[in-house]
Structure 1
Amino acid sequence: MTTDVSRRTVAGGLAWMVPTVAAVAAAPLAAASESPVGGVWGGAGSPDPNTPDPNTPPTPVAGTSTSVCGCALHWTSTATLDVNMADYSNQGYTEYKNDDCGYLKVHHFTNAARTELRWRVPFGTPYALEAGTTISLVPTSGNWTVDLAGFTDQSGDESFDRFTTITDRYAQAPAGPLTAEMRDGRLVVTLPAMPADSHALFTVVGRPVAGTTVTGDIFEATATASGSYTSEARAQLGCP
């Protein structure tokens, strides 16, 4: 039986935390706005008010899902790192997840010397997940590689609050440490069981390939999270 642990009651991090020792430059606190993706029904430009709100769960049908979140987790987030942008670490967010169903984003910055890339991936779920959820980080621009030795698990301390500015959700820590491995050039991070309202967070070093430089090239990374909700969570979501 696993006891939920809140990051806000753990001083100094958890036992499985690995300290970050590399110096970094201008790590982003968060984008200027962390508004949920998507528009607001009823605002300017909305359809006829008599049209059903598409965000309202449909009438239940036997054997089908009424969940607006879906019955299996599959999210994608993409970011571009270009140090020549005025506020590069808070720009370049091509796609990310931030709504009532969860959070996934790819933060990006560099070391102080601007010779290495840093990719930080915060993940949050309001619904409990079975052990085995994976987050894959792919060097989609093809001009950098993952340095597995530079992987750091930052789950369970104040880092998620600090770097996302989300302080009212995802308070619980994972049931154990994250594990990381390389598969066909991509980083695959496997999560333990995730309680309801929990988070995970990791950072990894990226190295530009020969002939490219942090200051002279543009880099892109894509994170994909896939997992299964617990039976209790599926019932909460209206899944069969």
Structure 2
Amino acid sequence: MNPSTDVSPTLAAEAERCRRQIRLGQYAGPTAGLAAGCVQANLMILPASWADEFLLFCQRNPKPCPLLAVTEPGRYNVPALGRDIDIRNDLPKYRVWRDGQLASEPTSLDDVWQDDLVSFLIGCSFSFEEALLANGIDVRHIRLGTNVPMYRTNIPTAATTRLNGPMVVSMRPMKAKDAIRAIQITSRFPAVHGAPVHLGDPALIGIARLDQPDYGDPVDIQPDEIPVFWACGVTPQSIISTVKPRFSITHAPGHMLITDVSNASLASF
């Protein structure tokens, strides 16, 4: 993936404004709906000793882990995704993991940053939500101002030597006709998870209760709606819980990096 940051000055300025607010501690919530038109990215940070293998894992699992950019060890700027990005401070909330256990949820990584850390920026479904809204499809969590519901599933990822675990999915309830249209729309965006991986009965992918997501917030499903599930960039957090690396960092679910890349530039056709 080689996204372009050749976007309008207005769009880039809005992305920078949002990052600046986050960096200064003026915004700490989920980023869905912020900087309309701009790509948002999931984050996975690992020591360099894990980097090559996680890159291979992403290549084997492009649905949940579509790569947008990878940094050099110790680098915290990402020029491929925007000017003046500081990975250590430009996300509203992070998760620091030690031996596979969640150790803290800081709003800055300044105190835990290491010179051998490699950052992986992974496509986010927030990008295709803009296209869904433009086609008149209700995106429930945006309308409600909550975080998207996400669930661990029984869908296995394609393992590497040390990395394995179940896929995480995000869910949006839709009427059947909107679900069909959503499949058509999101298939145009393989860099941000593409088409859904499942729709209908959640038990078939190992989800017992839709009202109890593993990450994010629950949303109501009306009698004339079905749940539609997309592969999710929170999957690496499921992998961390499974394989328990000594040290790793992720975004807090729903708290993304806002980039200067335009959502429109990711459409494949």
Bin the TM-score by the shorter chain.
under 0.3
Question: What TM-score do you get using the length of structure 1 for normalisation?
Answer: 0.28
Q: Which structure carries more helix by proportion?
A: 2
Question: What TM-score do you get using the length of structure 2 for normalisation?
Answer: 0.25
